[in-house]
Structure 1
Amino acid sequence: MENNNDNKVLNVPHLRFPEFTGEWKKSTIGSLSTKVGSGVTPRGGETVYKSEGHSFVRSQNVGWGHLQLDDIAFIDKETHLRQKNTELQLDDVLLNITGASIGRSALVNKQIAGGNVNQHVCIIRTKDNLVPAFLCNFLLSNHGQKQIDSFQAGGNRQGLNFEQIRSIKITIPSTKEQTKIATLLHLIDERIATQNKIIEDLKKLKSAIIEKEYTHKTKSNSHIGDFIEQTSKRNKNRAIQNVLSVSNRQGFIQQSEQFENRSVASDDTSSYKIVKKNNFAFNPARINVGSIARLTTFDRGIVSPMYICFRTKDTLFPEYLDYYFETKQFFTEIQKRLEGSVRQCLSFEGLCNIPLCIPTIEVQQQVGKQLSTLVQEIKLEIDFLELLQRQKKFLLHQMFI
């Protein structure tokens, strides 16, 4: 690829394949399309959806450059024939035109070709001089999204009408260059899809190992309380300034991250509880699977006095208990022990009363190490996914005008 940093005269993008020359031509979606329109929701709404038949595409099925078909709806032939003018053709461009998902775009594939769309999804069918995949990626680029945003007066994303869509300005090269750009971006999309599958499979493997290890056929006479002890040391001299919170998804995080770079800590943190590495903490009023966290990213920190903090005794390896808190069994047990009619909480006593059967400390360490290695692998794969997504975003910004 070649950079075009001197694009003040030539109407070309910053980044371009070297074999192509000449300026791109300015146009509008309306002048390059044979159809711009959407469908309707059948009378009766979800009650008329079928388990099979013609695909019925809704806004939740249109992602950022890909289709999300896990919950695709279907309509029968009679309903389809009443909406024949919205029948989808292969490589039609779909654009969400209402609600929070305005601007998401994807191409029609073989799975939904012959189906229909509702009123929240617009079909754009292009002429021969506009490659559908090029248009789809243009709509997702900064240049397309800025124009879509500009139609939403005052930032109120109510909806796009067909005239606005037709008026969107687009600058295009030859169909050969359009195809090459679209092919490159498609390859990246495929790699992103593969990476998502890798992460999904690793997470399933982790869950399977956890459930196998912690699901015991025999009942245990021991409980969590036999292996943990509460900690309540306070930050009396306010020597520790690292204020932490527990996030359901991320575990311990700095409070400023949770509250968007602002602290909600008291000016006087002397009553805050000290948490050391491998200690646990949870907010009893926000208890769920994932809401009890073990401190691993910091050597120590402080949490709000409302938190319950504890550590494991020598007979229980901290990582082994940590992964138990991700099991279905634990979720079932805490549901039995929630207290309060309006805002349900889990007391420390309730946590301690949950049955727990543990193997030898050597087996605990082996299981903990295996799962920790898997967690680290998942993190590396997620980091690589984010790298691919940034690469796609960069190309969308640099290869369109």
Structure 2
Amino acid sequence: MSDFATKITKKNKGNIVKNVLCNSANLGLVPQVNYFDREIANTENTDGYYVICNGDFVYNPRKSTAAPFGPVNIYEGEEAGIISPLYLCFSVHNIFPKFLYYRFKSSAWHSYVYSHGDSGVRFDRVSIKDDVFFDMPVYKPAQDEQIKIATILQLIDERIATQNKIIEKYESLIQAICDTLISKEEQQVMLSFSDFGQSYSGLSGKSAEDFGEGYPFITYMNVYQNQIIDSTDVGLVKINETEQQSVVRNGDILLTLSSETPEEVGMGAVYLGETYPLYLNSFCFGIHITDEAKIYPPFLAYYVSSQSFRKAVYPLAQGSTRFNLQKSDFMKKKFSFPVIEKQRKIYSILKAYSDKLIIEKLIMRLLCKQKCYLLRQLFI
């Protein structure tokens, strides 16, 4: 590294530069106000911050799932920025910057930091001296090969960014269609969730030792994050015979009872996976939908994400730091539903777009898998 990298030591004397940056594993080097939605650093007291320019690198030693040895990012902003002195900043020469950037996105350098880092008291930070970091060996192919490697990886990144936008558009479209079709439907019936079947509570009091073996279970986050849950989405938990009432059946509606925000209370899902024993965990409750109910279970997966449903449930959420829903209050509340014939038609429309969304998400996973493969193979 020391053959082509030089540590940046220029300080922001006189607080001349006001563009405070942070180094994010997922977002890269971005203005602090964009990352935190507010200024964290006092812009009038940043004379100890390092000044960086376009093309400079910053190493943030804070560990994360996305960057187990801390992120190294390149600054691509046009105006000069300033970065906390807790970070290591350096400029490069005689190497294609984007090639080095992608090398740091690979795991090729992890073994060096692991074996040469100091054992510090901070478990959440990498502890490695600057001179040791710059002693890191880096295989540097010919310049044209560096450019080719960086170019193909950048093209994949651009394709992933485009795919993200496609997925976001489909998600917004499905939500808009869902809200429009449900709220504008003229033929409506007033029903409570107690009309649909018998409710049951999720398991509670499970300790960490309970997870990892036994029967599969669904957590609060499964319910909140998914409209339709498949058996591949769930974890495992031990269940005793007295807890059989929490078994989830094919087609059950699942809802959240407790959340950190009132908007998330009541968010739900419909389980449509295999019919082997599956259990509902705490902060949730479920409803076994009967055959006689005037509701189409797959339609409920979309209905509970609609704005009309959210607006009706929101006032029922009680609390200050954590918001809770009383199951008894919820079960007897009347909601406006399209008649069941219309439910099936609405579902068929939404299902067509959802199937397309599933394909787009599969394409995204394949693109990310391709990028991970290239990052493993192109750097030594």
- Does structure 2 conserve the Cα–Cα contact (< 8 Å) formed by 1:137 and 1:396? yes
Partner Cα separation in structure 1 for residue 85 and residue 356 of structure 2: 43
* Cross-structure match for 2:83: 117
Partner Cα separation in structure 2 for residue 301 and residue 210 of structure 1: 31
- Does structure 2 conserve the Cα–Cα contact (< 8 Å) formed by 1:281 and 1:310? no
Q: CA deviation at 1:194?
A: 1.0
* Cross-structure match for 2:315: 336
Partner Cα separation in structure 2 for residue 305 and residue 186 of structure 1: 42
2:269 pairs with one of 276, 293, 298 = 293
* Cross-structure match for 1:6: none
- Does structure 1 conserve the Cα–Cα contact (< 8 Å) formed by 2:254 and 2:270? yes
Task: Show the 5 A alignment for 1:24-43.
Answer: 29-36=1-8
- Post-superposition CA distance 1:307-329 (Å, at most 9, x none): 43231654322222221211344
- 2:358 is aligned with 1:386: no
* Cross-structure match for 1:146: 111
Rate the CA distance shift 1:181–1:265 in 2: closer, same or farther, 3 A. Answer: same
Partner Cα separation in structure 2 for residue 38 and residue 330 of structure 1: 56
Residue identity matched to 1:346: L
- 2:159 is aligned with 1:191: yes
Rate the CA distance shift 1:359–1:162 in 2: closer, same or farther, 3 A. Answer: same
Partner Cα separation in structure 1 for residue 22 and residue 158 of structure 2: 23
* Cross-structure match for 2:179: 211
* Cross-structure match for 2:123: 156
Rate the CA distance shift 1:226–1:308 in 2: closer, same or farther, 3 A. Answer: closer
- 2:34 is aligned with 1:71: yes
* Cross-structure match for 2:207: none
Rate the CA distance shift 1:112–1:366 in 2: closer, same or farther, 3 A. Answer: farther
Residue identity matched to 2:90: I
1:358 pairs with one of 320, 327, 337 = 337
* Cross-structure match for 1:93: 57
RMSD over aligned Cα atoms: 4.0
Query: TM-score, length-normalised on structure 2?
Result: 0.75
* Cross-structure match for 1:126: 92
Rate the CA distance shift 1:188–1:86 in 2: closer, same or farther, 3 A. Answer: same
2:142 pairs with one of 159, 169, 174 = 174
Q: CA deviation at 1:32?
A: 1.1
The structure having more radius of gyration, on CA atoms, is 1
- Post-superposition CA distance 1:3-29 (Å, at most 9, x none): xxxxxxxxxxxxxxxxxxxxxxxxxx1
- Post-superposition CA distance 1:263-310 (Å, at most 9, x none): 2322x2673344332222346456935753211122353425974323
* Cross-structure match for 2:210: none
- Does structure 1 conserve the Cα–Cα contact (< 8 Å) formed by 2:23 and 2:73? no
Q: CA deviation at 1:58?
A: 0.6
- Does structure 2 conserve the Cα–Cα contact (< 8 Å) formed by 1:274 and 1:300? no
Other structure's SS at 2:19 match: strand
Q: CA deviation at 1:80?
A: 9.3
- 2:311 is aligned with 1:311: no
Other structure's SS at 1:330 match: helix
Task: Show the 5 A alignment for 1:23-62.
Answer: 29-36=1-8, 55-60=19-24, 62=25
Q: CA deviation at 1:224?
A: 2.6
Residue identity matched to 2:166: I
- 2:193 is aligned with 1:229: no
- Post-superposition CA distance 1:240-272 (Å, at most 9, x none): x964324232464659943xxx52322x26733
Say how many residue pairs are matched: 346
- Does structure 2 conserve the Cα–Cα contact (< 8 Å) formed by 1:226 and 1:352? yes
Out of 385-394 and 293-302, give the one that drifted further. 293-302
Other structure's SS at 1:208 match: helix
Question: For structure 1, which runs of at least 5 residues remain unmatched after alignment?
Answer: 1-28, 44-52, 233-240
> Identity of aligned pairs, percent?
21
- Post-superposition CA distance 1:115-166 (Å, at most 9, x none): 2222344332111x21111111111212123333442638934244422321
Task: Show the 5 A alignment for 1:362-381.
Answer: 362-381=341-360
- Does structure 1 conserve the Cα–Cα contact (< 8 Å) formed by 2:191 and 2:337? no
Partner Cα separation in structure 2 for residue 291 and residue 356 of structure 1: 15
Residue identity matched to 2:91: R
Rate the CA distance shift 1:38–1:164 in 2: closer, same or farther, 3 A. Answer: farther
- Does structure 2 conserve the Cα–Cα contact (< 8 Å) formed by 1:133 and 1:182? yes
Residue identity matched to 1:88: I
Residue identity matched to 1:97: P
* Cross-structure match for 2:102: 137
Rate the CA distance shift 1:130–1:322 in 2: closer, same or farther, 3 A. Answer: same
Rate the CA distance shift 1:330–1:189 in 2: closer, same or farther, 3 A. Answer: same
- Does structure 1 conserve the Cα–Cα contact (< 8 Å) formed by 2:265 and 2:324? no
- Post-superposition CA distance 1:169-223 (Å, at most 9, x none): 21111112111111111111111111111111111212222232344699x8824
Other structure's SS at 1:198 match: helix
- Post-superposition CA distance 1:337-371 (Å, at most 9, x none): 24688975434432234442222333222221222
- Does structure 2 conserve the Cα–Cα contact (< 8 Å) formed by 1:38 and 1:121? no
Query: TM-score, length-normalised on structure 1?
Result: 0.71
